[in-house]
Amino acid sequence: MDLICLSHIKWNFVYQRPQHLLNRFAINNRVFVIEEPVYDANSDYYETSKPDPKANLWVVQLYVSKCSSPEKTNHVLKALLDSFIYSNHIAKYILWYYSPMALDFTDHLSPELIVYDCMDELSAFKSPPKRIKETERDLLNLADLVFTGGHSLYKAKKDLHHNVHAFPSSIDKSHFYQARALSSDPEDQASIPHPRLGFYGVIDERFNISLINQLSELRPDWHFIFIGPVIKINKDDLPKKENIHYLGRKNYEELPLYLSGWDIAILPFALNESTKFISPTKTPEYLAGGKPVISTSITDVVNPYGINKLVHIADTAEQFIEEAEKIFGSYNNKEEWLIKVDNYLSGTSWNKTWRKMLTLIDDTLEKKSKNRKTKMKMYV
């Protein structure tokens, strides 16, 4: 059947969990990704695009003119969505939510199944929607199946729904294994001296600005490379030093090439409400690329990666430097460490994650069907 995804993230923003999962579903099914509506358009309409001409995946943007009330806005959005569903002959479908706020204009639909893939604790992020907690409770009441993006998030949600399952960040190993063999540097990285400590991902309120500033001052001979878009924070607030390099956004295909040229990969996250439940996808990606990793003590990094001695944990600049110097001093033992990394990652892949999810989807659909038949017999 078809899948309609309601997402708070632009499809072409960064390649992460939704892209890994939904592109796999699109191999044998149609997928329609409904992005957050645009609310200040000149008229009411929708547009569809196909990011990959070969894939069964379409991105849908709903446009709404400025309305006098939220109720009227939702009425218009529902009409646009109904028109889209009718025009594309969508009959049997799964509703797959990343954004609880989309419930405001989708609560009238009749899907075969409602899945909530709770990737992050959105209420903890900077400037969340005012009703996000209330709307998420409503979504949890309606959902048939709930996935969480990590174990800490699972612990926070497991008592709120009867069918919750943890699916931490996974990995496309073959893609990031490339970093172990690549030898040439991208043009904008080639002139940066070693040692290099690098990070790729979204640079936002989760980014530990103070830590990076201190590290760059304490070790002016080390160079810090940051790849990714800057959102929700002022770019002027980011530390500016000769040994800090912001290379901007890169495509998913380019990441192994940049990663290959680093000496250490870092996860310099602040420890605050916005990082309490995160499970960074880049952790296993860095490891697959064969790079030593230093992270602040994010719960889902400490367990399992820290306790298994796969990732170094440090919260202060002094601790970061101490861990980095340990790594520089242990390069002769790198092969032994890589064997340990590969053994751990052998049980992890987005394909395996998706297959497990599909099994749960099929089981839940079957139970719903049996319950429906039982109720029909009761009324006959």
Q: How many domains does the chain have?
A: 2
Are 338 and 361 within one domain?
Answer: no
Q: Is the pLDDT of residue 271 over 60?
A: yes
Are 114 and 261 within one domain?
Answer: no
Are 180 and 302 within one domain?
Answer: yes
Are 141 and 127 within one domain?
Answer: yes
Residue pair 289/260 in contact (Cβ under 8 Å)? The answer is: yes
Are 74 and 119 within one domain?
Answer: yes
Q: 42-87, pLDDT tens digit by residue?
A: 899 999 999 999 899 999 999 999 877 888 999 999 999 999 999 9
Q: How confident is the model at residue 298 (pLDDT cuts 50, 70, 90)?
A: very high
Tokens 């000496």 correspond to: 263
CA atoms 133, 137, 143, 145: torsion sign: positive
Are 165 and 177 within one domain?
Answer: no
The closest of 247, 312, 29, 282 to 176, measured between CA atoms, is 282
Q: How confident is the model at residue 95 (pLDDT cuts 50, 70, 90)?
A: very high
Are 330 and 364 within one domain?
Answer: no
Are 177 and 238 within one domain?
Answer: yes
- Structural domain of 106: 2-170+350-379
Q: 212-247, pLDDT tens digit by residue?
A: 999 999 999 999 999 999 999 999 999 999 999 999
User: What pTM value is reported for the model?
Assistant: 0.93
Q: What rounded mean pLDDT belongs to the chain?
A: 94
Write the CATH number for 365.
3.40.50.2000
Q: Is the pLDDT of residue 376 over 60?
A: no
Q: How confident is the model at residue 378 (pLDDT cuts 50, 70, 90)?
A: low
Are 91 and 217 within one domain?
Answer: no
Are 128 and 235 within one domain?
Answer: no
Are 48 and 71 within one domain?
Answer: yes
Q: Is the pLDDT of residue 125 over 90?
A: no
Q: Which residues contact 232 (CB under 8 A, 6 or more apart)?
A: 125, 126, 127, 204, 205
Are 177 and 204 within one domain?
Answer: yes
Q: Is the pLDDT of residue 119 over 80?
A: yes
CA 213 to each of CA 49, 150, 207, 316, 354: distance values in angstroms, whole numbers, following the listed order: 41, 29, 11, 11, 39
The closest of 182, 268, 184 to 225, measured between CA atoms, is 268
